[in-house]
Structure 1
Amino acid sequence: MRLTQLPLTASVNKPTKTSLVALGILLGLSGCGENNNVNQQDKQTAVTPAMVDDTAAKSSLAIWPDLKPAIAKDDALEAKIDALVAKMTIEQKVAQMIQPEIRDITVEDMRKYGFGSYLNGGGAYPNNDKHATPADWIALAESLYQASIDDSVDGINIPTMWGTDAVHGHNNVIGATLFPHNIGLGAANNPKLIEQIAAITAKEVMVTGIDWVFAPTVAVVRDDRWGRTYEGYSEDPQIVKAYSYAIVEGLQGSVNGDFLSDQHVISTVKHFLGDGGTENGIDQGDNIASEQDLYDIHAQGYVGGLNAGAQSVMASFNSWHGVKNHGNKYLLTDVLKDKLHFDGFVVGDWNGHGQVANCTNESCAQAVNAGLDIFMVPTVAWKPLYENTIAQVNNGDISQARIDDAVKRILRVKFRAGLFDKPSPANRPLSGKTELIGQASHRDVARQAVRESLVLLKNNQGLLPLAPNAKVLVAGDAADNIGKQSGGWSITWQGTDNQNSDFPGATSIYAGINKLVTQAGGKATLSVAGEFDPQQKPDVAIVVFGEEPYAEGNGDIDNLEYQRGDKRDLALLHKLTAQGIPVVSVFISGRPMWVNAELNSSDAFVAAWLPGSEGQGVADVLFTQADDKVSHDFVGKLSFSWPATPQQTQVNVPLAQHNTEQAQADYQPLIPYGYGLTYQSTASDAVVLDNLSEDNLAATQTLVDLPLFERAVKSPWSMYIANASERQGLSSSVAQNSALTIRTMDRVVQEDARLVSFNGSEQGTVGLISNFPRDLRAYSNSDAALSVSINATQALQKPLWLGMACEGDCRKQIDIATQVNTQVGEWQSLSFSLACFADEPMDFAKIVMPFYLATDAAAEIRFSDVVIQAASTENTIKCN
């Protein structure tokens, strides 16, 4: 979806239905597979000294290895590339570097400009039809390809290429095989299986005429609060390294064999670099690891992927020591291209260049100069970016040599992939072979992957495996929910708004259990709420529950407690155990979570992660054959340590080079990395998971003040202004709209405050916003307060609203005019308990605006130092 630019406006404390509808449009924020950063006008941040790219001065290239290129230099190919580049105009070259999205271009745009590539984001489909058929995908691929090679307009016929996020199968296409997400595959620790999965994914992608896949993700996750944790294979860089090699080879073929044949696609190792190590697990945040750790921990997936011949690398949204990676020449050029000898191309992430200091979505010479070869530029920003980049080459901001290097890299990959020689998308060998989409043999491999990904954490009295002829109650809201078991990046970007009918050919966990049990003469009964006929008391209950689907940004949380404040699944477990029914819990999640109470209430507990479309793989392992023989034992082992408390979010097994006696002493998870029971395990093999503490330690959790605007706007927030019809981000020291003017001012130090002049013609708003919702429950559940330093130059005659807003149709605002008027013309610090903003429908788990001021009065307001205080003071206003 796109972010409609509407402001946060209201003139009454209680939101009207109309205002909430407008607010819902305003807060319809989206992210990287669909719209993972807000239009640049909505997210400019102040440039601080920390954002200056000085990393090269404090870095050491000696840390990085000299990788031998996986593909030897081909002089004949290089001569062919040079000859083609020599014929190209600057306009044609820049067009190769522009990657728009299918919702924002037409076939005629492709014919006119000749884009080097294009993409579909998560939740984007041909004809904007979620249920587009493979024929629809092929038709779009064919039409854009033919337009790209039509030289009647632009005089050049370089074939374009289509990139897609096929991250656990061809997950945007109805009916495709969906494999377990990466976290589950990491638990399987089977690189050969991973290579097979990648090869199948390549085939299903090629059926739809697509050339290029944005996978694998090789993030090494350090903080499980990160909403992309499930995209990581393991906290162990060595598993990630081995898997990266396997997946790249499965997608692209072997460099010594069928490399980029008509059975394979171009792969993308992503996101370079350190996305799994941001502070506090904040998506797109700052990684402050040392350079040695950046290599030892976060770069190992690139060593594996580049050794397998990966042809593209995607730059990451995150920063390293305050410098956005899309603009970091040291990482993109000095390290990746020069030291690691990567000769493919670097593609950006969804408008990631617009987050570079002094850049916008429409203009970013810094990214090109840093080493970005392809701008991923969805939305209509592609046209001004194209025009501005041409102008920047012409005026010398970008050198012709840098442009030529980028284009040569793009052409090199296209030649290696045979795009100049292959038939058009509709005429390739696998194109249109719809029987390959969700083919039975593909689903069999996915089913195997489900079996191998399951990790048995608890099995009291050997409850598992179960006899298939038993009376089985299957409960929980994930039991018959293919969308929930598949997670994010499943048909839609966030994996939400799906029904079982959106997954033809797939099997829910309940359906798999029911089939197996029925065939053996048993009886499986589905009841989400755990109801059953008292005359037919079940022998066992299998309760399938877990996290709701989410993708990047929206999945960020502030601690690992499962269902904090809403223990409905725990209540279901209690209900069943109180009736003397043995309970097997099957936990669906994208990360390890603090589930002590749920573990206590389970006789057996299985971490099933996000298994994808083949839910019957769960039944294969939980039950024996009719003759009591075990068909499939548990083989999965934890590739992530399991937390002992909700606050233990960074519990990672010590790496070999860091494995000191102190590191071992500090490593205190509830369940260690590498753990997993089998049916041969004895009591001595098991971690005791009974009578665990159910104290979430909220009372003892140490919170610190959370600055939102202190001297400058703090990440991940950005400042905006709005009137009745539109909102804009701040990209300079002065900005205005029809309702107000805002400028920086000096209070204590340079530009540490803002002066807002409301003209009274309509309601104006100034506030802070994040491109993704943020979890602030730890503060709302404590005695925290929102504090702001404020100064009104004259008494306010109308309300001045102080408010907060969350994702969806929810916000709360209070009139603070009375408090402000007590010291007109003077600075004062006002503090308001977060309880003032806690009424329904406010959801502190999904805050997108932690602070805004709004009024329709003619007033001059100065403010600074906006902070969420960890604890109220005696001066905090409590509200009734």
Structure 2
Amino acid sequence: MQQSKQYHGSGQLSAMLTLALACSLALVGCAGQAPDGSSQGAEKPLIQPQNWPLQSAPIARNQQIEDKINALLSQMTPEQKVGQIIQADIASVTPQQVRDYYLGSVLNGGNSAPGRDNRVGAAAWLQLADAFWQASTDTSDGRPYIPVIWGTDAVHGHSNVKGATIFPHNIGLGAMREPQLLHAIGRATAIEMQVTGLDWTFAPTIAVARDDRWGRTYESYSEDPALVASYAPHILQGIQGMPGAADFLRGEHMLATVKHFLGDGGTVGGKDQGDNIDTEAGLRDIHAPPYYSAIKAGARVVMASYNSWHGDKMHGFAPMLTDVLVHRMGFDGFVVGDWNGHGQISGCTPTDCAASVIAGLDMYMAPDSWQALYANTLAQVKDGRLPMARLDEAVLRILRIKAEMGLFEQVKPSERPLAGRYELLGNAQHRALAREAARKSLVLLKNNQQLLPLNTTGRVLVAGDGADNIGKQSGGWTLSWQGSGNANSDFPNGDSIYAGILQTVTAGGGSVELSENGRYSQRPDVAIVVFGEEPYAEFIGDRSHLAFDDNRGLQILTQLKSQGIPTVAVFLSGRPLWVNPELNQSDAFVAAFLPGSEGGAVADVLFRSPSGAVRHDFQGKLSFSWPDNAKGEPLNVGDAGYKPLFAYGYGLRYSDNTTVGQLHENAGISADQMLNASRYLHAGKAVTPWQLQLLDQGQITRVTDALHTSARGALTATATDRLQQEDSVTLSFAQPGTVLLTHADGVVLDLARQSNGDMALELEYQVLALSNSTTTLGMQCGDNCSANIDISGQLAQMQGKGWQSMKIALRCFSEADSTFDISKVTRPMVLQGSAGLVLQLANVRLAQNEGNATCGN
């Protein structure tokens, strides 16, 4: 029987009342606002600051600090002032350049660890922190003593550093409904950061994600602004300490950042860096509440958002950065930009943008553009295009926070109390905290016949590609920007989900078999299948729909169910996704989100204690509504026509005897809508709507079955086994020919953002035989537009060496042919080979360049 029942939780009514209350408390109500908060009319609205609640600055200025920073300012040259408002990435700046250009800050982007090694040891971080500090504080030429500050994206623990504790991502923390625990997480993160000498984190993210297609949904605690607003003070004060306390921003505390201001979670279609077209009331009542609470709790840095509001980029939008943030919200810290975000303002470039500072930005984040930006900004100050008064204001704001941090009296990073205490990274107390948070973040969606909790005395099969994969369970922003390419060995202070199950079950007298593909040597009493999204970050995670389109987990569940084996699905994801087929094939289903490095938390909840008692019950409640179709249209509690599959606040406990019936399996979207902009070939098969095609003397043959030969016999594509049955394709060239990946409807891909973001085209392959002629890998941008790169040398080096990964940086295609247009890609893979070449392909996709991408030979 097809079931369309909606499953509701107790949190729905309270959330609806909260939203209504937010509207009623505002000076201007929600009239004229569509149910989703978007504008109903075509006329561009204006920001009217008087419509925003007025809040006084929560931290009184300290006269001693004011005297000190004004005295410093009076000693500074224009060159020194300009340097203070620029932040450079450590991959593009040296300590000597920090000194030469008087830079006020450095950062490490997601892929720019010391030495460009994302898995470098903690000592290298501390050593580099000392180098930057000493360079910035060398006053031998008479310059003022102004230390540099180093910022990093410690968004779920000190997650760029090997060995650190990796906490659940925010979407999971939102589900646990325990804001007090965030204080402890913030404090633990600050402690581990100071071990490596860093003093500033670009966290917490307090976005209110309203469209789950957004690639940063997992960085949001909830779709409900009230929940996010209630969380913000706890995580913030855990990092920074309490305003007014002696250790505020000092001791075991440090500087935090609330981001991204404002409206990043409400862009059209969930497009990262896109346009938010909410009404002013929608922007205020949905996206601003967390900032009011964070500023009241002592936020000292706000990061400007990439997004626009009705076409106006936030990085240059004075009505928000100045009129609202400073004059209505009472913010008295400094505003930092996002990665070259100022360059997206109309009329600006990454190296030239006085307009952003004039609008209210205090510190440019100019990772690789800083040097030219410095020169242009200095020229603009000298000729008056950037008023000196505004520059002085920005510098004073930065100096004020540095003074509040005690940096002018501080010693170099390696001499501070926590520095070099590497035993604190991933220590037992912090791991226990992470395990508790992960345990409480799990949401039980289905538990038919009360299958859970399981006994530890039976035979347990653990399957799925996420079972023994700490990187996958941790998600993006883990050791690297995208979180890809991580092995379990990269997490010396973590456990996979399988490892936790193994420890728990064997201690209880049972046995565990691990099998990624679900095949077993001895019939199990129960199977736990762990699967889900691959790690991603930012726009790489943007989707056009919410259908979970990796069917490996479904295949395993279906296979086991057909054999009468009870199944428990553990789903790893950065957002709710349409998984009705997987739900139907599971007896129990757990939304685990991205639990971090403590995979043992899953076993804590799934299994009874050896005595048979419940060890830990499920606590998690959905902080995002779960969709009943894959369309991806905004689905938020309080919306008109709200029809989720599992409502906001839903989450079963063991005492609930709830049966989830057979669900419909109509995704609600066509193949045309399932455009995958970053995944083209998966497990040897073209990902819908992409097609794998063989081009042979002008004739195209589409590969649709396990064995396909091109029209004139030059090429053969054969489905072959890699890890599972037919999970790769072998391409055999009898004559010259071309293998294509083409969109079924000729849709054009704009990969300019991805190219600018240093992404790469990645092939997972093995070379079975080589030809004597050139092999090229290319892309097309129309009938007479292409770029091809010679990969013959790489293939020759890898022949006979098993499975390999090849990454060609997207920029290389533009460099290979000046006429190639990366914004109009029609075929993301064009592989040309000659007689004798035999390649086995598993996956073709866009991936992060972790320093291992090339331009071919």
Range into which the TM-score falls when normalised by the shorter chain: 0.7 to 0.9
Q: Is 1:698 aligned with 2:678? A: no
* Amino acid corresponding to residue 647 of structure 1 in structure 2: K
What is the CA-CA distance between 1:505 and the residue it aligns to?
A: 1.6
3-state SS in 1 of match to 2:664 = coil
**For residue 147 of structure 1, what is the aligned residue in structure 2?**
135
**For residue 6 of structure 1, what is the aligned residue in structure 2?**
none
Match of 1:335 among 305, 316, 324: 324
Q: Is 1:310 aligned with 2:290? A: no
Match of 1:801 among 765, 778, 784: 784
Contact 2:72 2:144 in 1 (8 A): no
Deviations 1:408-460, CA, capped at 9 Å, x for gaps: 00000000000011221111111111111000000000000011000000000
Taking the aligned partners of 2:112 and 2:674, their CA distance within structure 1 comes to: 40
Over 3 Å counting, the alpha-carbon distance change for 1:95 and 1:238 in structure 2 is: same
Taking the aligned partners of 1:256 and 1:847, their CA distance within structure 2 comes to: 45
Taking the aligned partners of 2:749 and 2:450, their CA distance within structure 1 comes to: 57
Match of 1:195 among 174, 183, 193: 183
Contact 1:348 1:376 in 2 (8 A): yes
* Amino acid corresponding to residue 602 of structure 1 in structure 2: S
Match of 2:341 among 341, 349, 352: 352
Taking the aligned partners of 1:454 and 1:847, their CA distance within structure 2 comes to: 28
**For residue 623 of structure 2, what is the aligned residue in structure 1?**
639
**For residue 377 of structure 2, what is the aligned residue in structure 1?**
389
**For residue 540 of structure 2, what is the aligned residue in structure 1?**
554
Match of 1:230 among 218, 224, 228: 218
Match of 1:512 among 500, 509, 516: 500
Contact 2:321 2:360 in 1 (8 A): yes
* Amino acid corresponding to residue 403 of structure 1 in structure 2: L
* Amino acid corresponding to residue 697 of structure 1 in structure 2: G
* Amino acid corresponding to residue 349 of structure 1 in structure 2: D
Contact 2:259 2:304 in 1 (8 A): yes
Match of 1:295 among 261, 272, 284: 284
Taking the aligned partners of 1:143 and 1:630, their CA distance within structure 2 comes to: 52
Q: Is 1:589 aligned with 2:560? A: no
Count of residues in Structure 1 that have an aligned counterpart in Structure 2: 672
3-state SS in 2 of match to 1:677 = coil
Q: Is 1:605 aligned with 2:593? A: no
What is the CA-CA distance between 1:132 and the residue it aligns to?
A: 2.1
* Amino acid corresponding to residue 548 of structure 1 in structure 2: E
Match of 2:606 among 622, 628, 635: 622
Q: Is 1:678 aligned with 2:660? A: no
**For residue 752 of structure 2, what is the aligned residue in structure 1?**
770
* Amino acid corresponding to residue 446 of structure 2 in structure 1: K
Taking the aligned partners of 2:654 and 2:601, their CA distance within structure 1 comes to: 17
Over 3 Å counting, the alpha-carbon distance change for 1:810 and 1:117 in structure 2 is: closer
**For residue 12 of structure 1, what is the aligned residue in structure 2?**
none
- What RMSD, in angstroms, separates the aligned Cα atoms of the two structures? 2.8
Q: How does 1:673-752 map to 2 (within 5 A)?
A: 673-683=648-658, 688=660, 690-699=661-670
* Amino acid corresponding to residue 292 of structure 2 in structure 1: V
Contact 1:175 1:505 in 2 (8 A): yes
Deviations 1:646-672, CA, capped at 9 Å, x for gaps: 004311001xxxxxxxx45x0001110
Range 539-548 or range 258-267, more displaced? 258-267
What is the CA-CA distance between 1:542 and the residue it aligns to?
A: 0.3
Taking the aligned partners of 1:413 and 1:478, their CA distance within structure 2 comes to: 43
Taking the aligned partners of 1:639 and 1:62, their CA distance within structure 2 comes to: 32
What is the CA-CA distance between 1:703 and the residue it aligns to?
A: 10
What is the CA-CA distance between 1:261 and the residue it aligns to?
A: 2.0
**For residue 724 of structure 1, what is the aligned residue in structure 2?**
none
- TM-score normalized with structure 2 length: 0.75
What is the CA-CA distance between 1:605 and the residue it aligns to?
A: 0.1
**For residue 159 of structure 1, what is the aligned residue in structure 2?**
147
Q: Is 1:441 aligned with 2:425? A: no
Taking the aligned partners of 1:844 and 1:504, their CA distance within structure 2 comes to: 30
Contact 2:569 2:590 in 1 (8 A): yes
Contact 2:45 2:279 in 1 (8 A): no
Taking the aligned partners of 1:453 and 1:804, their CA distance within structure 2 comes to: 47
What is the CA-CA distance between 1:619 and the residue it aligns to?
A: 0.3
Deviations 1:696-753, CA, capped at 9 Å, x for gaps: 233498899x9xxxxxxxxxxxxxxxxxxxxxxxxxxxxxxxxxxxxxxxxxxxxxxx
What is the CA-CA distance between 1:108 and the residue it aligns to?
A: 1.2
What is the CA-CA distance between 1:256 and the residue it aligns to?
A: 3.4
What is the CA-CA distance between 1:152 and the residue it aligns to?
A: 2.4
3-state SS in 2 of match to 1:544 = strand
Match of 1:409 among 397, 402, 407: 397
Over 3 Å counting, the alpha-carbon distance change for 1:190 and 1:637 in structure 2 is: same
**For residue 275 of structure 2, what is the aligned residue in structure 1?**
286
Taking the aligned partners of 1:769 and 1:607, their CA distance within structure 2 comes to: 32
Taking the aligned partners of 2:342 and 2:827, their CA distance within structure 1 comes to: 38
Contact 1:111 1:154 in 2 (8 A): no
**Larger RCO: Structure 1 or Structure 2 (Cα < 8 Å, ≥ 6 residues apart)?**
1
Taking the aligned partners of 1:468 and 1:767, their CA distance within structure 2 comes to: 50
Taking the aligned partners of 1:88 and 1:122, their CA distance within structure 2 comes to: 33
Taking the aligned partners of 2:668 and 2:163, their CA distance within structure 1 comes to: 44
3-state SS in 2 of match to 1:152 = coil
- TM-score normalized with structure 1 length: 0.73
* Amino acid corresponding to residue 316 of structure 1 in structure 2: S
3-state SS in 2 of match to 1:549 = coil
What is the CA-CA distance between 1:130 and the residue it aligns to?
A: 2.5
Over 3 Å counting, the alpha-carbon distance change for 1:505 and 1:800 in structure 2 is: closer
Taking the aligned partners of 1:155 and 1:810, their CA distance within structure 2 comes to: 42
Taking the aligned partners of 1:586 and 1:844, their CA distance within structure 2 comes to: 26
Taking the aligned partners of 1:624 and 1:289, their CA distance within structure 2 comes to: 48
Deviations 1:533-571, CA, capped at 9 Å, x for gaps: 2xx3100000000000001111011100001xx522211
Contact 1:158 1:420 in 2 (8 A): yes
Unaligned 5+ runs, structure 1: 1-54, 655-662, 707-765, 775-798, 812-831, 849-880
What is the CA-CA distance between 1:770 and the residue it aligns to?
A: 2.6
**For residue 875 of structure 1, what is the aligned residue in structure 2?**
none
Contact 1:266 1:417 in 2 (8 A): yes
Match of 1:212 among 200, 203, 207: 200
**For residue 469 of structure 1, what is the aligned residue in structure 2?**
457
Unaligned 5+ runs, structure 2: 1-42, 678-747, 757-781, 790-805, 811-823, 833-840, 849-857
Over 3 Å counting, the alpha-carbon distance change for 1:156 and 1:239 in structure 2 is: same
**For residue 563 of structure 2, what is the aligned residue in structure 1?**
579
Q: Is 1:430 aligned with 2:430? A: no
* Amino acid corresponding to residue 451 of structure 1 in structure 2: R
Over 3 Å counting, the alpha-carbon distance change for 1:181 and 1:154 in structure 2 is: farther
3-state SS in 2 of match to 1:585 = strand
**For residue 486 of structure 2, what is the aligned residue in structure 1?**
498
Over 3 Å counting, the alpha-carbon distance change for 1:277 and 1:93 in structure 2 is: same
Contact 2:49 2:319 in 1 (8 A): no
What is the CA-CA distance between 1:803 and the residue it aligns to?
A: 6.2
Taking the aligned partners of 1:810 and 1:130, their CA distance within structure 2 comes to: 18
Q: How does 1:252-263 map to 2 (within 5 A)?
A: 252-257=240-245, 258-263=247-252
* Amino acid corresponding to residue 551 of structure 2 in structure 1: K
